[in-house]
């Protein structure tokens, strides 16, 4: 079914060109124009958040399993990786002298950079970060495999959601008490001294990888099986689809994404506190994917950035003395969105380069809820 021409990791030239352009734009034009705090809060953090939300969208948006456990796996990934880098971070270092390319004067005027530094990084630290990310992801995936397998076998719909909510609360409670077994996590006081290894490059790289993995999975026959489980479990079973297998696969893969994101988050602010992994925040990914549109990757990514930038921006934009109104305005906006656009910002419309190469015709149910989608499909 593949069109001939350039393909890398299953993606078209258009996809990779967009990715490269977005990366260069953010790296060279956006980042130098922001103070350090804002570029972490406005660019790097939403990238990380988008990875979690894509994972949850796979579980809930595409596979239809209502899960509130994403935040727990995020916490597992964050703490696992932080413990590894805390122990070895100071000892591992292998700086690589890259090359420095002087830029012509015109370019320097456009982009505030004296020179272009290429391949200028610490290979030891990068390797350590990758190992930490892998460890966080693997542990989150293993825990989710055990939990998902045992719980999914038995519970469906709301009760699965409640069980995963319980899981998130258990993880948070264990993180508060983690200093009994691992003293350097310092329990409720929060873990300090994690090396700040996450750079925009890593956050963006893992976001792109997450999108690529999801796209390749969803637009395959396995992907169609996953969506069919959401649409009608009994019919899917009747078609010979192993419903339990696909549910567990989605749950584990989504949790793996959460683990990766957790590892990146741990090394972003170089500080972890169990209160961040609490119940109130655990709804953030669910809120974001509903805002963006369930079962929609473009929507998830866009909604994550809108959500993070608006919440952070309100700190700055609100007049003096009204900063506390942030979380009063936010739920009102959420309510209005749910009232006037319950299908999310994007509905089911994917951006062009993220759309399926050959997606089967939309069902009547999908289009009737979303007249814009029908126009999009006809065009």
Partner 1 sequence: MPKLLNRLVVSVRKSPVVYAVGLLLLVWLAGRARQNPVLFAQFIVDGIRLGFVYALVALGYTMVYGIVRLINFAHGDVFMIGAFAAYYGTTHYHWRFLPALVLAMVICAFVAVIIERVAYKPLRDAPRISALITAVGVSFFLEYFSALNFVFTSNFISYVPQPIQFTSWQVAGVTVSNIMFVVMAVGTVCLFALYYLVYRTKLGKAMRAVAWDKPTARLMGIDVDLIITFTFALGAALAGIGGMLYVVVYPQIRTFMGVMPGLKSFIAAVFGGIGSIPGAFIGAITIGMVETLSAGYLSSTLRDAIVFSILIIVLLYKPTGLFGEAAKEKA
Site residues, partner 1 (CB under 8 A): 64, 66, 149-151, 153-159, 162-163, 166-167, 169-170, 173-174, 176-177, 244-245, 248, 279-280, 283, 286-287, 290, 294, 324-328, 330-332, 334-335, 338-339, 342
> In the bound complex, what is the minimum distance in angstroms from residue 83's beta carbon to partner 1?
19
> In the bound complex, what is the minimum distance in angstroms from residue 66's beta carbon to partner 1?
8
> In the bound complex, what is the minimum distance in angstroms from residue 189's beta carbon to partner 1?
13
> In the bound complex, what is the minimum distance in angstroms from residue 366's beta carbon to partner 1?
13
Cβ-based nearer residue to partner 1, 66 or 359: 66
Cβ atoms of residues 47 and 143 within 8 Å: no
Cβ-based nearer residue to partner 1, 93 or 275: 275
Cβ-based nearer residue to partner 1, 215 or 247: 247
Please tell me the distance from the alpha carbon of residue 145 to that of residue 238, in angstroms, as a whole number.
25
> In the bound complex, what is the minimum distance in angstroms from residue 162's beta carbon to partner 1?
5
Cβ atoms of residues 215 and 297 within 8 Å: yes
Number of residues written out for the chain: 379
Bridge partners (DSSP) of residue 272 are 191
The half-sphere exposure of 303 on its side-chain side, counting CA atoms within 13 A, is 30
Backbone angles phi, psi at 191, to 5 degrees: -95, 120
CB count within 10 Å of CB 354 equals 17
What is the residue-wise DSSP string for 206-251? HHHHHHHHHHHHHTSHHHHHHHHHHH-HHHHHHTT--HHHHHHHHH
Cβ atoms of residues 299 and 290 within 8 Å: no
Please tell me the distance from the alpha carbon of residue 354 to that of residue 211, in angstroms, as a whole number.
9
> In the bound complex, what is the minimum distance in angstroms from residue 27's beta carbon to partner 1?
34
User: H-type helices in 279-363, by residue range?
Assistant: 284-292, 297-317, 326-340
> In the bound complex, what is the minimum distance in angstroms from residue 226's beta carbon to partner 1?
16
Cβ-based nearer residue to partner 1, 323 or 372: 323
Cβ-based nearer residue to partner 1, 65 or 199: 65
Cβ-based nearer residue to partner 1, 54 or 229: 229
Please tell me the distance from the alpha carbon of residue 277 to that of residue 264, in angstroms, as a whole number.
15
Cβ atoms of residues 52 and 78 within 8 Å: no
Cβ-based nearer residue to partner 1, 159 or 317: 159
């Amino acid at each position: 079914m593949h069109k001939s021409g350039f393909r890398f990791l299953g993606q078209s030239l258009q996809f990779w060109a967009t990715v490269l352009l977005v990366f260069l734009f953010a790296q060279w034009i956006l980042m130098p124009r922001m103070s350090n705090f804002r570029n972490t809060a406005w660019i790097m953090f939403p990238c990380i958040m988008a990875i979690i939300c894509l994972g949850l969208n796979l579980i809930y948006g595409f596979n239809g399993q209502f899960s509130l456990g994403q935040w727990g796996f995020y916490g597992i990934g964050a703490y696992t990786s932080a413990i590894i880098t805390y122990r070895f971070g100071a000892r591992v270092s292998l700086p690589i002298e890259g090359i420095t390319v002087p830029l012509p004067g015109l370019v320097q005027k456009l982009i505030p950079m004296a020179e272009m530094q290429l391949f200028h990084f610490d290979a030891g630290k990068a390797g350590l970060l990758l190992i930490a990310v892998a460890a966080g992801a693997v542990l989150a995936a293993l825990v989710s495999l055990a939990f998902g397998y045992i719980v999914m076998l038995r519970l469906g719909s709301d009760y699965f959601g409640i069980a995963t909510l319980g899981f998130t609360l258990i993880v948070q409670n264990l993180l508060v008490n983690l200093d009994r077994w691992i003293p350097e996590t310092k329990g409720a006081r929060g873990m300090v001294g994690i090396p700040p290894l996450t750079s925009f490059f890593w956050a963006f790289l893992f976001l792109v990888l997450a999108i690529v993995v999801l796209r390749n999975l969803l637009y395959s026959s396995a992907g169609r099986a996953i969506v069919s489980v959401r649409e009608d479990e009994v019919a899917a079973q009747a078609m010979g689809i192993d419903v339990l297998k696909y549910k567990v696969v989605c749950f584990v893969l989504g949790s793996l994404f959460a683990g990766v994101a957790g590892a990146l988050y741990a090394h972003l602010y170089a500080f972890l506190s169990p209160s961040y992994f609490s119940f109130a925040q655990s709804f953030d990914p669910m809120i974001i994917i509903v805002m963006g549109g369930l079962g929609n990757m473009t929507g998830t990514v866009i909604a994550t950035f809108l959500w993070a930038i608006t919440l952070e921006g309100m700190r700055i934009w609100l007049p003096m003395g009204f900063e506390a109104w942030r979380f009063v305005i936010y739920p009102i906006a959420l309510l209005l969105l749910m009232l006037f656009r319950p299908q999310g910002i994007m509905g089911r419309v994917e951006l062009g380069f993220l759309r399926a190469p050959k997606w089967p015709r939309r069902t009547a149910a999908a289009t009737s809820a979303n007249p814009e989608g029908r126009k999009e499909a006809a065009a």
